[in-house]
């Protein structure tokens, strides 16, 4: 029963959710809405589980003096401090002039933006290191990438303004985006959507059981 019961629940709930797309009647829509609300609540409670694991893993690392254990102390301290400050400040914890807002504006926002900004450096180094034209297809890809990349910026307007409109980088870039890129993107999206259906069906039918763990 340990595996059969979860598989049965998965099958019933999965089929109900598929049915709710076709059957507007309250006999189906009310339970499916209820299940969606339950999912929201479950996901929120899951954060408690995750938080406990963060503390366990990092306390263990600090106790065993694993490499970088000092940073684990920083992590645990800041985690507890942020949670306590937010809890003390209550529902309006992100209102102007609260401590949580200060943490958000001066630490969290800036660190997020900094991490995202690293992408600019990595894109340049990846372009130099790894974008190699070894085949005809790679060559076509490189040409298209260069046209789109250069056509998106105003410097290209300035450089190719003297050309007829169809030949300017901006126009070529738009044509690539609207026609070949669109066609390829739609094809990949459709294929991926079919893959989603196939995986979902395997989970609903109980063919895919790896996520349950334990013996087969």
Interactions with another protein, residue window 75-114 (CB under 8 A):
91-92, 94-96, 101, 104-105, 108-113
Binding map of another protein across residues 155-174, x = CB under 8 A, - = no contact: xxxx-----------x---x
Q: Name residue, tokens 């050309």.
A: 163
How many residues line the site for another protein (CB under 8 A)? 105
**At closest approach, how far in Å is the CB of 62 from another protein?**
13
For residue 137, CA distances in Å to 33, 126, 134, 143, 174 come to 48, 19, 8, 10, 21
Q: Does 180 sit near another protein (CB under 8 A)?
A: no
Q: Name residue, tokens 């995750």.
A: 50
**At closest approach, how far in Å is the CB of 132 from another protein?**
5
Give the span between the Cα atoms of 11 and 13, in whole angstroms: 6
**At closest approach, how far in Å is the CB of 91 from another protein?**
5
Q: Does 5 sit near another protein (CB under 8 A)?
A: no
Among positions 32-71, residues that touch another protein (CB under 8 A) are 33, 36-37, 39-40, 42-44, 46-50, 53-54, 57, 60, 67-68, 71
**At closest approach, how far in Å is the CB of 139 from another protein?**
9
Give the span between the Cα atoms of 20 and 206, in whole angstroms: 20
DSSP state of 216: -
Q: Does 144 sit near another protein (CB under 8 A)?
A: no
Kindly tell me the sign of the dihedral angle through the C-alpha atoms of 168, 172, 175, 177. Answer: negative
Give the span between the Cα atoms of 109 and 116, in whole angstroms: 11
């Amino acid at each position: 029963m340990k595996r059969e019961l979860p598989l049965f629940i998965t099958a019933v709930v999965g089929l109900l959710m598929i049915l709710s797309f076709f059957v507007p009647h309250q006999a189906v829509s009310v339970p499916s809405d209820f299940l969606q609300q339950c999912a929201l609540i479950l996901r929120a409670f899951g954060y408690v589980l995750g938080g406990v694991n963060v503390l366990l893993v990092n306390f263990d690392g600090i106790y065993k003096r694993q490499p970088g254990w000092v940073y684990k102390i920083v992590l645990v301290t800041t985690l507890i401090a942020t949670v306590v400050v937010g809890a003390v400040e209550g529902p309006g914890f992100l209102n102007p002039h609260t401590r949580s807002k200060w943490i958000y504006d001066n630490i969290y926002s800036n660190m997020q933006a900094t991490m995202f900004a690293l992408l600019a450096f990595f894109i340049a180094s990846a372009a130099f290191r790894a974008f190699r034209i070894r085949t005809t297809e790679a060559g076509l890809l490189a040409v298209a990438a260069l046209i789109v990349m250069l056509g998106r910026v105003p410097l290209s307007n300035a450089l190719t303004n003297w050309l007829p409109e169809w030949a300017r980088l901006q126009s070529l870039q738009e044509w690539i985006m609207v026609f070949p890129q669109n066609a390829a993107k739609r094809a990949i999206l459709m294929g991926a959507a079919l893959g989603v259906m196939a995986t979902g069906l395997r989970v609903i039918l109980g063919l895919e059981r790896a996520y349950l763990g334990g013996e087969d």
